[in-house]
Each structure stands twice: as structure tokens, then as C-alpha cells.
Structure 1
């Protein structure tokens, strides 16, 4: 059975506000989880490859690590963490996502939480922490968009209801399992979202090919049937199923706004390399379109391996 016991909070010293920590403390209290706060310290002159003497390198590394530790400690001074077990970690890593993944290798975290800000294409290409965590973190990743508390405790699970391959089946099951678990904790109904392609547009791009009669109706019915099957498995009410036509990231963002969702749970295949950056995927495209928090699930996260 899915449960959330250990939460890792990835904290960036360059962010002026720490939305992730506030959300993490709230979730830890709701789920009775413990928290580990982590950040990184690093400098060229404190690195082992620096061309200065060892004693000076160690002195620089120690001073920067202590400064980072003091910063973590200061974040807890103004927050109510009573009855929450909190640990802190400072990793000597140049990139924050490398420190987070190093931390996860040592502890079996059930959820990783990080604050996020708007991104540019260059940030996606050049080792941006959010994108690397979504692709490579061996645990579900929640990206927090603002300090605003969840107003409705409404969770929206976004799936591809017609995929039949094992990977997408597992992603769908993981998405809905995690979303259901959070919805149960906050005593709210779970919503399901699904987008389907605009076939007419696709055929318009290749006018030499004639679209079969009623092809759009057939595709729509396939997605409706697929959503109905997943909704039945997770006891989602019919009026909580939302299906839209168009690009997935646009449709899901619109549904999230219409339903006033506080959290969207979505899957990613974790595509890597330059092709992954340029092509992208739904989860990454959604980060900047959504106004609410987003929780990203991958097939290998192992949220619910007992798929049936």
C-alpha cells in the first residue's frame, strides 16, 4: 500500500522565498511524515581539483558548508515544526539536483519537494535543477509554484487513458495511486483529466491523405471509454472526469484552472539528452503553464508496482 513517510525538501539558497518548505511542513503534519531539508555548498577553490594547498581547500569547504548549515537552521526558526521530525543535510555538490540524488541514494524518500520559478530554454539545456529532478530523481517530485496554501484541497490526476503499453499503464496507475492517497488525506474528491488529439488538424497538414469518416468521434469515444475504466478502478465520480481536445499541456492547464485544482499529478517518461530538451514532454511543458503545484511521477518511481 502506498504511504508517505519520508519527505526530502530541496532548498535553493538563490531563491528569495522557500515555498517548498512551507508546503512540506504542512504535508508532513497531514501525512505524519518526517522531513529532511537539504541544500548544497560548493566553490571552485574548495574543490579537490583546485590548485591551492589542501589546508586552504578544507578551510574554504568547511566555511561554506557551515554557512549553508546555518542558513538551513535559520529557515526553521520562524516555522512551526512541532511534532515533526526534521533533519538537515548539506552536500558538497556544484549542482543542487546532484546533491538531491545523492541524498536519495542514502535514504528511501517517498516524495521530493522543491520550489520552482519560470524557466527559459537555456535553463532547460544547462543543468537546471527542476528539469534534472523530473528526469532523473528516483522518487516522485512535487514542484511548488507559490506560498499560497491549497484552498480547495482538490487533486487533479492527468493521464493518457488510451495507452496500452506497459510503461504508460504503470505511469497511469502510479499517477492515480498517488493522487488518490493525497486526496484521501485531505478528504476531497479526486478528479481525472485526459486530453485527446485534434485529428482534423493533423490531416489538414497532409491534404493528400483523406481522413476516415467519423475518425474524430471514434477517438473521442476511445478516450471516454479509457477514462471510464480508470475512474471505475479508483472510484472517481463521473462528474469528476474531464476530457478535452487539443495539445495535452494546454488542455490539462485549462482543466486545472476550471476545476480550481491545488495540485496536478502527471507522469513523465523522463526523456533525457538534447532530444529530450528540444522535444520536451507534457510534464515539463506543464510546469510553466500551471498556476498550481505539480507532482511528477515516472514509471520507475515504483509508487504502485502491483499493477493489475
Structure 2
């Protein structure tokens, strides 16, 4: 079951608009969940090694936290039907504030607004990348404050992978997407990509591609997608299979069907490999115009009660 009772909403004071808030309020109202609004504040001169005396440091720190609380409270609607609390964390990095909060409470979903990222964001471990890789709960990155209007949830999977980790992620993605679609009475679509083998063989001209290899790969993906679709009762005309890199294919399918949200997984590569190779989820964030929900292998969906 889609058991989302506690939602953490990450608000970034450096963003001109808090586009995640409307989405979070709508979801909380529909799911009868409570919201916690979170932000972080920090100044190095309030640390122990500062030249300021201890009393002044504490007074400045208290004033900054109070200012953060006032800022968060300005987003709490009066007379609303959603239970809302606020948290201001003394942390230099916003993702560290999220992880601190997650250690103290159990949240079922983390929601944050996002905007285009540059390569420097990835090299210096931007907040979004850290949340997608390390947050111990599903993460929704909101691209627009506009309401969902096309009634389409797109689940993006690696259908042919025989690796147990990828199969677990596939199952988690489709389970989450299915429950999301059922709750909001939306259409569930499945997306999958497969490589263009001719391009790979063109890079090693000394190796000849076997006859009908592309046909074999295409059929393999067709059969695998059909099996996943049967398991989650996805209609045949809601299965979308494209040729090419996963992030490009999924972004194209999402645009074509006008998806409201894409649900997908990440394996969270670390260090330089993560920067240079990247993850499909991370590459997709800037290519999608709709929301994205990122799951990890541990982000399962609770079974329905008997």
C-alpha cells in the first residue's frame, strides 16, 4: 500500500520560489499526511573557533535560527486542514539538515523543488544529488508549482536486467507507481530503453555484429516489458520502449505522453565515477519538465493488508 503518512518538505532560502510547497500541501491533503517544513541556517563566525565571544556567538546563532523559523512559518497557511510543523537546523549544507532530521524521525517521502544544475553542482555534491543518493526515503523533486493535469504516471525501469539489485529496484518502482496511480486514479505507463547495437559495434570496427542482433535485443526487451506489465496490470498501449540512452529515451517518452511524474530508481554512484558516468536519475532531472520520484533498493512499498 502507498503508506505515506509523514512528508518532509525541504525549503531552500536561496530559491526565489518554493515550488515544492504547493505539491506537498496537495499530496498531504489527499493522503491525510502531515508535513514538516525544513530549512537550514549557518554562519561560520558562530562556531567555537570564531573571534567572537561565546555569548555573542550564541545570541547571533539564536537570532539566525529564529529568523529561519519565522521564514518557515510564513509558508504555513492559516486554517488549513494539513498538520504542519517546522524545523530549522544549524547545518552548513541543506542535505545534512535533511539527514539529521531523518535520523530523528521516520519520513515516508521527502519533497524538494529543483532547478537546472551545472557541472559544478555535481562536482561539489549539490543538495539534489546527495538526497537522491543518500536519503533513506523516496525523494520527489518538483519541477513546477503547476498541478498535475494529465493523469499519467510513468514508471521507468531496466526491464531486462538479471541483476537482483536492479530487479528489486524495478519492483519497487512499479509498486510505488502502481499505488500512486491507483490512489489518484491516474493512468500507469511503463518506459524502458535498449541500446542501439550498431553504434556500439561501430566503435570497434574489427568486430562484426552478429546477424539479427538488433532484432534479438528488441524482442528481448519487448518480452521483458510485457512480463513486468502483466505483473502490474499495465495496458499494452501504455508500454513504451525506445532505442538509445535511458535518460534521453525516458525524457522523450515523458514529453510524448505528457506524464505528470516519472518514478525511477538510482544506484547512487559515488565520487568521480558519479560525476563522469552519472546515474540515469541524475541525468534525467534537468531533461524532464515534470516531477520525478527517485527510489533506492531499500525504498519498498508495504504489502496490502489482508
Residue aligning to 1:22:
22
Q: Decide which of 103, 106, 109 is 2:107's aligned counterpart.
A: 109
Moved more, 198-207 or 269-278: 269-278
Distance in 2, Cα, partners of 1:300 & 1:73: 33
Residue aligning to 1:70:
70
Distance in 2, Cα, partners of 1:6 & 1:48: 35
Moved more, 45-54 or 244-253: 45-54
Distance in 2, Cα, partners of 1:49 & 1:140: 37
Task: Call closer, same or farther: CA 1:81–1:201 in 2, change over 3 Å.
Answer: farther
Tell me by how many angstroms 1:244 deviates. Answer: 0.4
Q: Is the Cα–Cα contact under 8 Å of residues 3 and 302 in structure 2 kept in the other structure? A: no
Residue aligning to 2:207:
209
Distance in 2, Cα, partners of 1:81 & 1:137: 32
Cα deviation 1:6-41 (Å, max 9, x = unaligned): 110000001111110110000111111111110001
Q: Decide which of 238, 251, 254 is 1:253's aligned counterpart.
A: 251
Residue aligning to 2:279:
281
Q: Is the Cα–Cα contact under 8 Å of residues 3 and 181 in structure 1 kept in the other structure? A: no
Q: Is the Cα–Cα contact under 8 Å of residues 173 and 304 in structure 1 kept in the other structure? A: no
Residue aligning to 1:174:
172
Q: Decide which of 95, 98, 101 is 1:97's aligned counterpart.
A: 95
Count of aligned pairs = 304
1:295 alignment partner, SS class: strand
TM-score scaled by structure 1?
Answer: 0.96
Cα deviation 1:282-305 (Å, max 9, x = unaligned): 000000000111111111224459
Residue aligning to 1:52:
52
Tell me by how many angstroms 1:52 deviates. Answer: 2.3
Gaps of 5+ in 1: none
Residue aligning to 1:230:
228
Q: Is the Cα–Cα contact under 8 Å of residues 6 and 111 in structure 1 kept in the other structure? A: yes
Tell me by how many angstroms 1:198 deviates. Answer: 0.4
Tell me by how many angstroms 1:81 deviates. Answer: 6.5
1:301 alignment partner, SS class: coil
Distance in 2, Cα, partners of 1:189 & 1:81: 33
Gaps of 5+ in 2: none
Task: Call closer, same or farther: CA 1:68–1:57 in 2, change over 3 Å.
Answer: same
Tell me by how many angstroms 1:275 deviates. Answer: 1.4
Distance in 2, Cα, partners of 1:246 & 1:4: 35
CA-based RMSD of the aligned residues comes to 1.4
Cα deviation 1:120-157 (Å, max 9, x = unaligned): 00011113110111111111100000111111121000
Distance in 2, Cα, partners of 1:29 & 1:224: 39
Q: Is the Cα–Cα contact under 8 Å of residues 46 and 60 in structure 1 kept in the other structure? A: yes
Q: Does 1:88 align with 2:113?
A: no
Q: Is the Cα–Cα contact under 8 Å of residues 174 and 304 in structure 1 kept in the other structure? A: no
Q: Is the Cα–Cα contact under 8 Å of residues 25 and 81 in structure 1 kept in the other structure? A: no
Distance in 1, Cα, partners of 2:78 & 2:70: 18
Moved more, 5-14 or 122-131: 122-131
Moved more, 190-199 or 272-281: 272-281
Q: Is the Cα–Cα contact under 8 Å of residues 11 and 112 in structure 2 kept in the other structure? A: yes
Distance in 2, Cα, partners of 1:58 & 1:80: 32
Q: Does 1:9 align with 2:9?
A: yes
Runs of 4+ more than 3 Å apart:
302-306
1:271 alignment partner, SS class: coil
